[in-house]
Amino acid sequence: MSDTLTAPPSAASGPPAGPGQRPRRVVEALWLVVPYIVSVVLAFVVGGLIIAAIGRDPFAAFESVLTTSFNTRFGTIETLHKWVPVLLCAYAFAIPLATGKFNIGAEGQLLVGATGGVALGILWSDLPMVLLLPCVLVAGALSGAVWAGIAAFLMTKFQVNEILSTVVLNFISFQLIDYVASHVWPDRGAGHPATTPVGEGALLPGIGQAPPMHTGVLLTVFLVIVIAVFMRRTSTGFEMRAVGANLRAAQVHGIRTSRLAGAGLVVGGAVAGLAGAIEVAGVHGKMLEGMQSNFLILGIIVGLMARGSMLALPFIAFGIAVLEVGAGSMQRTAQVPVEMVLIIEALILLFLLLSDIARAKIRRH
């Protein structure tokens, strides 16, 4: 599947590979991959220097960061469970970005999605799974869509800047879940604002034992395919990419750009809302304060790192999930604060953006 609006073409839709085409294709692929490798290596070098500067062993630190996900079954499952919300929040950022809009509201949409899911999970807790689980997931996606829809409405009707409105909606969502967790369905015994558990039928079934992997992971893999097909094959997906590539030209050729930008925000919100519902149904079994973790910022980092390519998102999100899961064990084994991992992630992004500038300079000649 190619994605040439945003990334160089891949074999599937390229021209018939004639003589002279294949070396070019390889060169293009190298131009795409090399900056990522260089940026990651540089970020680790700089990060290692910082770790050494605070008197810790960078090699021990990096070993635990990079291997935790793969050494134990527990680490692998935790990584996949992290991958789901990070990736979905990355889509929530990247889909509106394709139309040139910045959704900074993924955490609010995730929380409102979780609220929608948890509400049905508690209210209809007696329903069997075949009915309740789909209801919970759909309610999550719809709630997230509605929440982002507020920003989309303000943007298309009153030209309210979407960055502003999505950030404000995040703060409102904190109040909302606080209210729900401490007044509507509070779990007094939790010692932390949280709702009572959802019904059995609202939980995503697990695969395997000790610990099981929730099937939200499979659902997410399916969603990756759906989104790729959507962006590549549907008219709306094409229009979104066209708007991202050249807003004026898209308008001149009959694309209703503001409507489309609004749709992009709503779809992004739906994906974040689904992430909230999956967190409820797969990880927590309830809604609790702080469940949004740092998924907003990780989603933005992943979305920016992908530099417009929807196809790259799942892979980058996986890399970030590995780092995030490794962070905890790094703190335990090498006494390096977990924040070091966020610094490394930011450095990767920084070097990646710098590589764009360098690449433009080099390629001119």
Partner 1 sequence: MENPRLEMRGIVKTFGPVTALDAVDLVVGRNEVHGLLGGNGAGKTTLMNVLYGLYRPNAGEVLLDGQPASIGSPKDAIAAGVGMVHQTFLQVDNYTVTENIVLGTDVPGPLRLDLSDAKARIRELSERFGLTVDPDAVVEDLPVGVRQRVEILKALYRGAKLLILDEPTTNLTPQEVDDLFGSMRAMVDDGMSVVLITHKIRETLSVCDRMTVMRDGRRVETIERADTDAEHLAEKMVGSTTDPGAAVDAAALGAVDAEKVEEILSSVGTTTAVAVRDLVVVNDQGHELIQGFELELREGEIVGIAGVAGNGQVELAEALAGVRPLRSGSVEVSGRSMGGLATSTWLHHGVAYVPEDRHRDGILPTASITENLVLGSQRSPQVRRRGLIDWGAAKQRAVDAIAEFSVRANGPATLVGDLSGGNIQRVILARAFARQPRMLILHNPTRGLDIGSTRFVYQQVRKATAAGCAVLLISEDLDEVIALSDRVIALYQGSRAGEWQHGSVDAYAVGRSMTGLGEARV
Looking at this protein, which amino acid is placed at residue 192? H
Q: Measure CA 51 to chain center.
A: 28
**Closer Cβ to partner 1, 234 or 294, answer by number:** 234
- The DSSP bridge partners found for residue 214 are 206
Q: Closest distance between partner 1 and the C-beta of residue 3, in Å? A: 10
CA-nearest of 183, 211, 202 to 114 is 202
Q: Give the pair of three-digit tokens for residue 121.
A: 């999970």
Q: Minimum CB separation from partner 1 for residue 32, in Å?
A: 13
Spatial CB neighbours of 63, under 8 Å, sequence gap ≥ 6: none
The residue (of 19 and 189) whose beta carbon lies closer to partner 1 is 19
Cβ at position 364, least distance to partner 1 in Å: 7
Would you give the DSSP letter of residue 17? -
- Nearer to partner 1 by Cβ, of 20 and 189: the residue is 20
Q: How far apart are CA 277 and CA 137, in angstroms?
A: 5
Encoding tokens for residue 246? 């050249």
Nearer to partner 1, 227 or 322 (CB): 227
Look at residue 205 and give its three-state secondary structure.
Answer: coil
CB 310 within 8 A of CB 120: no
Q: Work out how close the CB of 77 gets to partner 1 at its nearest, in angstroms, rounded to a whole number.
A: 35
**Least CB distance to partner 1 at residue 235 (A):** 4
- Chain residues binding partner 1 by CB under 8 A are 2, 4-6, 9, 13-16, 18, 21, 24, 229, 232-235, 238-239, 241-242, 245-246, 248-256, 364-365
- The C-alpha atoms of residue 320 and residue 233 are separated, in whole angstroms, by 28
For residue 87, the minimal CB distance to partner 1 (Å) is 24
The smaller minimum CB distance to partner 1, of residues 172 and 229, is found at 229
- State which residue, 256 or 359, has the beta carbon closest to partner 1: 256
